[in-house]
Amino acid sequence: MALLIISPCLGICAPLPSPPFYDAIMKIISPLEYSGVPVMVKPQVSLSVDFNQRTWTMHHIHEYDPQGVIILEQGRYGLCAELATFLFEKIKPLLDGRYEVKFAMASEAGFFSTAQSNHIVLLLVDRSDKQVYLIDPSFHKYARMKDLPEYHVVNIQDTLSFVKDKSHDVSFGVDQGIPLYIKNDFLLSFAVTSVDGKFDRDNFVLVISANRRNKFVGRDIVVIGRNNKVFADFEDKALLNQLLTPDEIKTLFDKLKSWIIQV
């Protein structure tokens, strides 16, 4: 005897409604691109290293218009915090008293999986029914938070400190990296690191590493710096050529070499 399986919806389930202002928000998001490379290589962006405090600082990485709103490079390139801030300003005019928007630091299963993740997204809250929507301009995602299980919110903020302070710089500890670029399922990160535990003017390197999505042991694809006073550089040409154009590679190497001279 044949077994008849009847769907609970009888084939006529209604689709879930779109998130609020979905088309308008996705139109803003669609041209945005997660990349710090076009910003990093600008002439005014410089690098300093404090060997005593074991920190490094990238200067003039953030730009603002006269109203204090973040400016994206070429109107579309930025890192997650910049993209989220840009989107925040763009969607505010769409909203009425029914909705509020917050910044959230979140982990994301593909690339930013640790509890220490500093990936920034937006949360749109519908006060009328308490529904929470997550908007990630870096990955062009916008949906109910419960429909995005790959995200876990670490904390929620009304504003980001660098925007509040109108800071132009960003600082990190030695061996800590800043995500730079996502392409072909790889995340590129930049860091200033020690050499065999030593960190001084004669022992430090600038490193760009590549992590494949869902693989959290990366590999260095660009290393340039000093090891016991000796200048050294290395590049993984095969992987670099997959991820960057020849012009981008040359521009990036020229920038890193100029920073080595500055430091």
pLDDT at 177: 86
Strands 141-144 and 186-193: unpaired
pLDDT at position 99: 96
Mind spelling out the 3-state secondary structure of 145-189? HHHCCCEEEEEEECCCHHHHCCCCCEEEECCCEEEEEEECCEEEE
CA distance 188 to 194: 19
| Cβ pair 166, 120 in contact under 8 A | no
Q: What is the structure's pLDDT at 16? A: 66
Give the pLDDT of the chain (263 residues) as one tens digit per residue. 444 444 455 455 555 678 999 999 999 999 999 998 999 999 999 999 999 999 999 999 999 999 889 999 999 999 999 999 999 999 999 998 899 999 999 988 888 876 656 789 999 999 999 999 999 999 999 999 999 999 999 999 999 999 889 999 999 999 988 888 888 788 899 999 999 999 999 999 999 999 888 776 678 999 999 999 999 899 999 999 988 889 988 999 999 999 998 88
Note whether 204 and 223 are within 8 A (CB).
no
* Amino acid at site 234: F
The two tokens of residue 103 are 């910044």
The whole-angstrom distance between residue 207's C-alpha and the CA centroid of its chain comes to: 17
Q: Which residue ranges make up each domain of the chain?
A: 22-164, 172-262
Q: Which two tokens stand for residue 76?
A: 């579309």
| CB of 107 closer than 8 Å to CB of 3 | no
CA gap 1, 3 in Å, rounded: 6
Say what the pLDDT of residue 115 is.
Answer: 60
Residue 72 · residue 82 · CB < 8 Å: yes
The 10s digit of each residue's pLDDT in 186-236 is 889 999 999 999 999 999 999 999 988 877 667 899 999 999 999 989 999
